């Protein structure tokens, strides 16, 4: 990471950095490669979920993040383990990039007792407390104030943590975004609003939902530092997030980051749906040429940091982890019906 | 119930709520409060007066007018271990926060398999009278009680108001406290010590053998008056303060109806789809063959609350109506209750239908 000699904010953070996912260690050595590995891993996981979805073992809606991997990688790798994220219905990549447990996630999709929610939530409620994935919430905009409230608690307790609210381009149409942004600005809370603009709310394009104006104005109007960047450029996402994190830790308040990207697959489910009429194949192709994973691979190859041998090693290691996680999920028992009365 | 150590004093329910809040904030640094008006000169009908001076604006947060967003913020802070108290000056304002309350507050403990807790207290004040009209006078106890994951409580006396407030703040999951605006004026004995009354089950407040009466919130105060008049005439009401709408524990009420064979429920809100309907259904399911007559529900008629005291004249149930209802349920009780009904009518006519007590002068 760029600031190797920065003192970790707490002893706990220092310990956490040497444990867990290995992201922190990777980051220290080689940021571009760490971003690439994170994105490649998420891509392979989502593709494997899509491939196996027809088996009817994952019996819950899935909102895949294929095409949007640079945002989760760039944002989450700029955070420390004790920082908290709150995600949305499209939560897989956020959860995984932040260090969420893959086995617990897949087991949850399979409705198993070993799932991160014990089979109570499905794919839209995944969370992992040790990893700092506070919550994922499926109602558009609903998690934005929850992340803001986490930031309020951090400020009230004087702890140097940061909270991130992931949101989509439609969430800024919800009043609750503005309510949370206003409060965060008034109280200078350590929260970062990360707007992943993938241009569609389900099948409805941004242009019929909002005036043709930059999304970032919606942060600025609340007095919040707001920037827009290429959401398919993981390094750009990382550096803007890191700047926002530094501002938040310094007590300088919230940020609003808009990352333009594109959802490759259908809103919900494992398929491509460019044929059903709400967007064109040509539009999809222009975005696929700017594949965040491919762009980073090409860059690493140009810099001599990635070759065919290294790529095969990475894929083998990632795929082995994924297969092992699916084996775990499939082998885990379903929860017992009597358990549903617990925690109700 | 924990027995408080100190001697009781007479306090209004508003003062009891204020004392409970201050003591909770003093005892636990994680407790903080948010609401529109918590730090203003009126201090939520006096229930938050002086708190901002004592605990500072970081813990007594004057909130932007953003009920849903701030409820989400309270939930997020609760997930991180804080213990927020949110206040809505009218339950009608809290309708803007229903998404956060019914989704995130109610579900998070369940959906995270018990990992997360949401120690959130939400006070919502039920308005009545002085022409407040249809959107400053609703109750919605049955609406909030419909969702698994929320506790819904309705204190009716100063003692309960303090004890339930403390219990709500100490509860590890969300509690909605529905406070009747007119209950704020009620005076009663309140110990000074920090005590809690458990958020479980109804409490019997008068014993009798002829009819079981269930009331909550302000309706209880009127029911007590009516029950005492009826008792003097030899008609014994087994009167319960419902206290807790969810979790709804009707064990003691069912046992009472098995003995009396008669049940009257007074809803604070609308009769149709009200809490009384659920109570009547459960009691009937449990002891149909011991009922001497059909359960009777009293509640607001199937219309929005009007502003004018002319239109509101017969809108609310009251002690006189309760006594008249009981008179029809018990054979030959009509003549025994004739005098109490007259006395209750006289009491009712002493104060206009739209003011809580003779000292009230408005404006809200």
- Which has more confidence, B130 or A287? A287
Q: What is the pLDDT of residues B312-329, one digit of tens each?
A: 988 999 999 999 999 999
Domain count, chain B: 2
CA distance A46 to A93: 8
Give pLDDT, residue B3. 55
Whether residues B83 and B171 share a domain: the answer is: yes
A152: contact with B, CB 8 A cutoff: yes
- Determine the residue of chain A that is closest to B101 in CA distance: A142
∠A264-A270-A276 over CA atoms, to 5°?
65
Give pLDDT, residue A10. 36
Residue B125 lies in a domain: yes
Residue B362 lies in a domain: no
Is B69 close to A152, i.e. CB distance below 8 A? no
Arithmetic mean of pLDDT over chain B: 95
* A156, A178, A182: residue with CB nearest B58: A156
Residue B296 lies in a domain: yes
Question: What is the SS3 assignment for B88?
Answer: strand
**Among A129, A163, A176, A184, the residue to mutate for chain B (most B Cβ within 10 A):** A176
Q: What is the pLDDT of residues B207-247, one digit of tens each?
A: 999 999 999 999 999 999 999 999 999 999 999 999 999 99
**Among B31, B68, B112, B174, the residue to mutate for chain A (most A Cβ within 10 A):** B112
> Where residue B155 falls among pLDDT bands split at 50, 70, 90?
very high
- CB of B13 within 8 A of CB of B185? yes
* A117, A137, A163: residue with CB nearest B104: A137
Give pLDDT, residue A275. 95
B78: contact with A, CB 8 A cutoff: yes
Residue B2 lies in a domain: no
CA distance B138 to B132: 10
CA distance B264 to B327: 12
Residue B197 lies in a domain: no
Taking residues B57-62, what's their average pLDDT? 97
Listed residues B167, B191, B215: the one ending a domain: B191
Whether residues B53 and B185 share a domain: the answer is: yes
CATH, residue B228: 3.40.50.920
Q: Given a cut of 50, is residue B87 above it in pLDDT?
A: yes
Whether residues B23 and B170 share a domain: the answer is: yes
Q: Residue for token digits 């001697």?
A: B7
Which residues does residue A193 pair with via DSSP β-bridges, in sequence order?
A: A165, A256
CA distance B309 to B352: 8
- Determine the residue of chain B that is closest to A134 in CA distance: B79
Is B73 close to A154, i.e. CB distance below 8 A? no
CA distance A260 to A196: 6
* B58, B69, B113: residue with CB nearest A176: B69
Whether residues B186 and B209 share a domain: the answer is: no
Instruction: Report the predicted TM-score, pTM, of the whole model to 2 decimal places.
Output: 0.94
Q: What is the pLDDT of residues B175-194, one digit of tens each?
A: 999 999 999 999 999 999 99
A191: contact with B, CB 8 A cutoff: no
Cβ-Cβ contacts under 8 Å, B81 against chain A: 153, 157
| Alpha-carbon gap: B72 to the closest alpha carbon of chain A (Å) | 5
Residue B357 lies in a domain: no
Report the side by side order of strands in the sheet with B237-241.
B203-206, B237-241, B211-215, B263-270, B296-300
Residue B39 lies in a domain: yes
Stretches in chain A below the pLDDT threshold 50 = 1-22
Residue B364 lies in a domain: no
* Contacts for B356 with CB less than 8 Å, ≥ 6 apart: B128, B129, B181, B182, B185
Whether residues B238 and B132 share a domain: the answer is: no
Q: For residue B167, count CB atoms less than 10 angstroms from its CB and return exposed for 0-12, middle for 13-18, buried for 19 or more.
A: buried
- CB of A163 within 8 A of CB of A147? yes
Whether residues B219 and B149 share a domain: the answer is: no
Q: Which domains does chain A have, with CATH numbers?
A: 23-330 (3.40.50.970)
Cβ-Cβ contacts under 8 Å, A101 against chain B: none
Taking residues B195-204, what's their average pLDDT? 97
Q: What is the pLDDT of residues B97-118, one digit of tens each?
A: 999 999 999 999 999 999 999 9
Whether residues B128 and B234 share a domain: the answer is: no
CA distance A178 to A176: 5
Whether residues B27 and B93 share a domain: the answer is: yes
Question: What is the SS3 assignment for A160?
Answer: coil
Whether residues B121 and B256 share a domain: the answer is: no
CATH, residue B161: 3.40.50.970
* Contacts for B173 with CB less than 8 Å, ≥ 6 apart: B109, B117, B118, B119, B120, B149, B151
Whether residues B18 and B146 share a domain: the answer is: yes
Whether residues B172 and B245 share a domain: the answer is: no
CA distance B120 to B71: 9
Cβ-Cβ contacts under 8 Å, A175 against chain B: 66, 68-69
Whether residues B54 and B178 share a domain: the answer is: yes
Is B64 close to A183, i.e. CB distance below 8 A? yes
Listed residues B159, B191, B223: the one ending a domain: B191
Give pLDDT, residue B353. 87
Listed residues B166, B191, B216: the one ending a domain: B191
A 10 A CB-CB count for A320 gives 10
For B79, the domain range is: 8-191
B293: contact with A, CB 8 A cutoff: no
């Amino acid at each position: 990471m760029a600031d190797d000699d920065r003192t970790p904010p707490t002893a706990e953070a220092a310990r956490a950095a040497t444990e867990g996912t290995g992201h922190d260690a990777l980051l220290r050595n080689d940021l571009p490669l760490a971003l690439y590995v994170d994105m490649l891993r998420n891509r392979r996981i989502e593709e494997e979920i899509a491939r196996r979805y027809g088996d009817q073992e994952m019996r819950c809606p899935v909102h895949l993040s294929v095409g949007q991997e640079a945002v989760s990688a760039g944002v989450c790798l700029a955070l420390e383990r004790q920082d908290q994220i709150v995600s949305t219905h499209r939560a897989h990549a956020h959860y995984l990039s932040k260090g969420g447990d893959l086995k617990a996630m897949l087991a949850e999709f399979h409705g198993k007792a070993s799932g991160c929610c014990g089979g109570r939530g499905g794919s839209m409620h995944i969370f992992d407390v040790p990893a700092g994935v506070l919550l994922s919430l499926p109602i558009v905009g609903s998690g934005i104030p929850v992340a803001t409230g986490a930031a309020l608690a951090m400020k009230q307790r004087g702890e140097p943590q940061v909270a991130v609210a992931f949101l989509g381009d439609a969430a800024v149409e919800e009043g609750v975004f503005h309510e949370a942004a206003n409060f965060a600005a008034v109280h200078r809370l350590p929260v970062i609003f990360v707007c992943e603009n993938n241009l569609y709310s389900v099948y409805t394009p941004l242009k019929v939902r909002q005036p043709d104006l930059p999304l970032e104005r919606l942060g600025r109007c609340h007095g919040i530092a707001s920037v827009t960047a290429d959401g398919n450029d993981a390094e750009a996402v990382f550096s803007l997030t890191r700047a926002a994190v530094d501002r938040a830790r310094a007590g300088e308040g919230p940020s609003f980051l808009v990352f333009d990207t594109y959802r490759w697959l259908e809103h919900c489910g494992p398929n491509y749906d460019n044929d059903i009429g709400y967007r064109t194949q040509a539009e999809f192709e222009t975005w696929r040429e700017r594949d965040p994973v491919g762009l980073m691979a090409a860059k690493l190859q140009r810099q001599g940091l990635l070759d065919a041998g290294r790529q095969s090693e990475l894929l083998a290691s990632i795929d082995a982890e994924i297969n092992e996680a699916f084996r775990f999920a499939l082998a885990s028992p379903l929860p017992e019906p009597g358990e549903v009365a617990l925690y109700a | 119930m924990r027995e408080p150590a100190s001697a009781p004093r007479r306090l209004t329910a508003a003062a009891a709520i204020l004392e409970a809040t201050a003591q909770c904030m003093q005892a636990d640094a994680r407790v903080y409060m948010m609401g529109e008006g918590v730090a203003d000169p009126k201090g939520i009908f006096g229930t938050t007066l002086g708190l901002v001076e004592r605990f500072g604006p970081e813990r007594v947060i004057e909130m932007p007018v953003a009920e849903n967003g701030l409820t989400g913020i309270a939930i997020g802070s609760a997930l991180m271990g804080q213990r927020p108290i949110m206040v809505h000056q009218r339950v009608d304002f809290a309708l803007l926060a229903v998404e956060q309350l019914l989704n995130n507050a109610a579900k998070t403990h369940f959906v995270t398999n018990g990992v997360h807790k949401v120690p959130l207290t939400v006070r919502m004040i039920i308005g009545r009278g002085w022409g407040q009209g249809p959107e400053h006078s609703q109750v919605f106890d049955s609406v909030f009680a419909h969702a698994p994951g929320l506790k819904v409580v309705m204190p009716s006396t100063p003692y309960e108001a303090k004890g339930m407030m403390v219990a709500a703040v100490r509860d590890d999951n969300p509690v909605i406290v529905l406070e009747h605006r007119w209950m704020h004026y009620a005076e009663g004995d309140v110990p000074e010590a920090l005590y809690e009354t458990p958020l479980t089950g109804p409490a019997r407040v008068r014993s009798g053998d002829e009819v079981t009466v269930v009331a909550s919130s302000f309706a209880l105060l009127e029911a007590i008056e009516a029950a005492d008049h009826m008792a003097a005439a030899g008609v014994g009401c087994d009167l319960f303060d419902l206290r807790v709408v969810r979790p709804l524990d009707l064990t003691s009420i069912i046992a009472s109806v098995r003995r009396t064979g008669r049940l009257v429920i007074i809803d604070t809100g609308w009769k149709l789809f009200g809490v009384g309907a659920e109570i009547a259904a459960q009691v009937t399911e449990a002891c149909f063959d011991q009922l001497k007559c059909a359960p009777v529900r009293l509640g607001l008629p199937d219309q929005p609350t009007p502003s004018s005291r002319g239109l509101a004249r017969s809108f609310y149930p009251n002690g006189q109506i309760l006594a008249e209802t009981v008179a029809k349920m018990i054979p030959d009780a009509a003549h025994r209750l004739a005098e109490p009904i007259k006395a209750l009518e006289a009491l009712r006519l002493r104060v206009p239908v739209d003011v809580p007590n003779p000292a009230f002068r408005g404006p809200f």
